[in-house]
């Protein structure tokens, strides 16, 4: 059954979404301390990269997604996952971003990834088959896969949908649940500031019809979605996602 998870900052408890705890070592957090915080089911205040917010408390039946953005070393990720698993053996754990298209040791982009997975660029497909072998000892340490499925802009919406479908096709061979990270605005920059400033919106957002198409694609190809970002960014997206949760 498809499930939507709440990883939003300061979101009200009006959504019937399971909470998702996320946090990472790019911000210097100790994995054992994170495990302790999750077990206590307490909210965590976060301040980083220009935004601040409160992450929801996570019941142990939900998921924890550790954030390894900017961490290039596979050995470091494995070490941190092992520490976390030892401290919190009963939690469902994944990490973000799982095999990011632009940051693996096998760099790519969304267009080339789509062509590779759809059999139109066999040379590039070899790199992604190598990435699969490279990630096997990571996958065995986690309970679900959580790729970046953010939408990058109106002009490339169809391409982004094709990428989301291709990513699901690629990840299914790992035989793990796949939860897509989504956000209710165009991801025009990496970790931009929060959207609200003096009552003005910094970023535009997809239309309702585009959100509905995203929802339908996710429901067809994924096991769930993790809604990330400031609550103000995600109100319309959440209204759409409530229909499949």
| Domain range summary for the chain, segments of one domain joined by + | 3-244
Per-10-residue mean pLDDT of the chain, 245 residues long, equals: 84 67 53 62 49 52 75 79 78 81 71 94 91 90 93 90 96 94 79 41 78 97 92 90 80
Domain with residues 3-244, CATH architecture: Alpha-Beta Barrel (3.20)
Count of CA atoms in the C-beta half-sphere (13 A) of 107: 3
Return the pLDDT at 75: 85
Return the pLDDT at 97: 79
Return the pLDDT at 1: 87
Return the pLDDT at 18: 73
For the record, the structure tokens of 187 come out as 């991801």
Which stretches of 141-203 are DSSP H helices?
157-171
Return the pLDDT at 187: 81
- Residue/partner pairs of 29-38 with CB below 8 Å, 24 or more apart: 31/66, 31/80, 31/81, 31/83, 31/84, 31/87, 32/83, 32/84, 32/87, 34/64, 34/66, 34/84, 35/84, 35/87, 35/88, 35/91, 36/87, 38/64, 38/88, 38/91
Return the pLDDT at 201: 46
Quote the strand ranges of 104-215, DSSP E. 179-182, 196-197, 200-201
Return the pLDDT at 23: 60
């Amino acid at each position: 059954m498809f499930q939507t998870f709440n990883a939003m900052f300061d979101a009200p408890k009006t959504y019937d979404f399971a909470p998702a705890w996320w946090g990472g070592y790019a911000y210097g957090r100790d994995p054992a301390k994170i495990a302790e915080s999750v077990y206590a089911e307490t909210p965590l205040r976060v301040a980083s990269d220009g935004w601040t917010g409160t992450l929801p408390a996570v019941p142990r039946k939900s998921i924890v997604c550790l954030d390894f953005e900017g961490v290039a070393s596979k050995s470091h990720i494995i070490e941190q996952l092992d520490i976390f698993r030892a401290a919190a053996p009963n939690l469902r754990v994944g990490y973000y971003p799982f095999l990011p298209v632009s940051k693996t040791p096998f760099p790519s982009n969304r267009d080339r990834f789509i062509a590779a997975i759809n059999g139109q660029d066999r040379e590039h497909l070899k790199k992604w088959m190598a990435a699969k072998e490279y990630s096997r000892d990571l996958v065995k340490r986690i309970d679900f896969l959580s790729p970046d499925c953010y939408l990058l802009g109106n002009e490339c919406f169809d391409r982004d949908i094709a990428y989301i479908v291709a990513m699901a096709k690629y990840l299914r061979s790992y035989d793990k649940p796949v939860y897509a990270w989504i956000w209710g605005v165009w991801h025009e920059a990496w970790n931009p500031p929060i959207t609200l400033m003096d009552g003005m919106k910094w970023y535009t957002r997809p239309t309702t019809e585009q959100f509905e198409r995203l929802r339908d694609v996710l429901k067809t190809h994924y096991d769930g979605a993790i809604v990330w970002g400031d609550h103000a960014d995600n109100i319309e997206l959440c209204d759409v996602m409530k229909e499949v949760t």
